Chains A and B, each alone.
Chain A
Amino acid sequence: MSELQQLGQILLQSIFAQNLVFIRFLALCSFVGLTANFNSAVGMSWAVTFITVLASAVSFLVYHYLLVPFGLEYLQTISFILTIAVFVQLVEIYLKKAIPSLHRMMGIYLPLIASNCMILAVALLNITEQYNLLEATVFSLGASIGYAIALIIMAGIRERLVYAKIPNLMKGYPLIFITSAFIAIAFMGLQGLGR
């Protein structure tokens, strides 16, 4: 299998077959919390994509050039948390200065991202799957596209649910959980993709 084919496989796998929200059940709090409004879902998706790709590359470098040479692989979780938190702060400071319009668009989501478990999961999965830097970047891009798809599907459905007649028993979170379960079942059908 050529290199390019392998990258494509990783991308497809991470978007659909290993979708972080629907198959691995990560990042559920932002999935439920930020999908009430379509625009905020899109904003969050942009911010997460941006941060995940950059932060997973940085934590990849931290792991391979700092932890491995000293034999400290067991410190990966705590050092990744540190790296991601610092990195989100850096990006926020930089965006505020350099691109204020982008900062206004995703600024409110950046503090949320610092504690988003999806980004830590992507950084850790990059290590356990033993990807190289290019593969890790492609994987994190695919994972965040998968997250964006999940958020956008859910936000689209929830905007329509506002106008639907729902029994009182089901209003709010119960219906959201049932809806996301149905979407997750649909994503199960994509398991074979990228094999």
Chain B
Amino acid sequence: MNIGTIILYSTLTLLVLAGVFGFVLGFFSKAFKVKEDPRLQKLVDILPGANCGACGLSGCQVFAENILSGKAQIDGCRAGGEELIKQISDTLGVKAEGNFEKRIAIALCHGGKNEANISCNLEGAPTCQSIKNLKLSPWVCEYTCLGKGDCAVICPFDAIVMNEDQLPEIDPKLCVGCGICVDQCPQKILELFPAKTGVLCFCKNPDKGSIVRKACKVGCIVCHICEKKCPENAIRIVNNLPVVDTEKCTVCGICVSVCPTKAITLYKAISGKK
């Protein structure tokens, strides 16, 4: 067999092979064509894509499908916020309905390395959950932030960083209120609040004042001063902790100035502190 026939044979064989495959592929793509809603891809593109699960569905793709089939509301995505609702309603041509209030996660503990008293040294523990599993707290206060940053690891939007005081610092601009960190925190320190939150009690210790005083410099010692001084009667002591009624609160700041341990603080002031 000379070189010419070898080239001819091999080229022809490959051509035939490629031709047959091409034909089969073309036939299959016609025969098994799936009608896909062109809006689906657009929706998937504008969704945040973090698959955080805050909508209660298993991911952004499923959420987009459920919007198209009418099973999910267009304001179901917590992460996207108001802007996303507007984009979805533009894409689908429906009017945005339901009022969306942006919520963010706030860590209700200011007992960091410098404020809270330490009972034993657990520096080597890798995660908050591992400390919790030990049933042994490095802090005197049982309700404090454990400071190992499980929330910072789990946050899909990188909104949480642990500061040098070993407390989570949550960037209100990056936080979308998906609530994943709230479920992750073994101490239940993190909670979701409206983004416009004014004053809050940054202590979760429901013990009596004398016990709290031994544990932490910034704990609530249940002195009832905030309850008495509030001009709007917006603060009630429930379970040894002040609860601020956001409907009544005018953010006048009186409770913040009278609180002897600075457990009640203006939220805005904290997010500005570095």
A72 contacts B29, C-beta separation under 8 Å: no
B153 contacts A75, C-beta separation under 8 Å: no
- Interface segment out of the listed A14-22, A25-33, A160-168, A176-184: A160-168
0 or 1 for each of B24-39: is its CB under 8 Å from A? (1 = yes): 1100110011100000
Q: Main secondary structure on chain A at its contact with chain B? A: helix
B21 contacts A97, C-beta separation under 8 Å: no
> Within A70-121, which residues are at the interface with B (CB < 8 Å)?
70, 72, 74-75, 78-79, 82-83, 86, 89-90, 93-94, 96-98, 100, 104
- B99 → chain A closest CB, angstroms: 33
A90-B25 contact given A163-B126, A163-B127, CB 8 Å threshold: yes
- A132 → chain B closest CB, angstroms: 23
A90 to B14, CA, bound (A): 19
B17 contacts A90, C-beta separation under 8 Å: no
B24 contacts A86, C-beta separation under 8 Å: yes
A89 to B29, CA, bound (A): 9
> Which of chain A's residues have a CB closer than 8 A to the CB of B34?
96-97, 100
Interface size on B, residues (CB 8 A): 18
- Using C-beta atoms within 8 Å of the partner chain, give the interface range for chain A: 20 to 34
- A97 → chain B closest CB, angstroms: 4
A47 to B28, CA, bound (A): 20
- A1 → chain B closest CB, angstroms: 37
A78 to B10, CA, bound (A): 11
A78-B25 contact given A72-B9, A94-B32, A98-B32, CB 8 Å threshold: no
> Within B83-130, which residues are at the interface with A (CB < 8 Å)?
126-127
- B7 → chain A closest CB, angstroms: 11
A98 to B31, CA, bound (A): 11
B24 contacts A162, C-beta separation under 8 Å: no
> Which of chain A's residues have a CB closer than 8 A to the CB of B14?
75, 78-79, 82
A46 to B127, CA, bound (A): 32
A79 contacts B32, C-beta separation under 8 Å: no
A104-B61 contact given A90-B28, A162-B153, A165-B126, CB 8 Å threshold: yes
Does A54 interact with chain B (Cβ within 8 Å)? no
Give the interface of B toward A (CB within 8 A). Answer: 9-10, 13-14, 17-18, 21, 24-25, 28-29, 32-34, 61, 126-127, 153
12 contacts between A and B (CB under 8 A): A72-B10, A82-B21, A83-B17, A86-B21, A86-B24, A89-B25, A90-B25, A93-B25, A93-B32, A97-B33, A162-B153, A163-B126
Give the interface of A toward B (CB within 8 A). Answer: 62, 66-67, 70, 72, 74-75, 78-79, 82-83, 86, 89-90, 93-94, 96-98, 100, 104, 162-165
Top 9 closest pairs, chain A to chain B, by CB: A97-B32, A86-B21, A93-B32, A163-B126, A93-B28, A96-B34, A97-B34, A93-B29, A72-B13
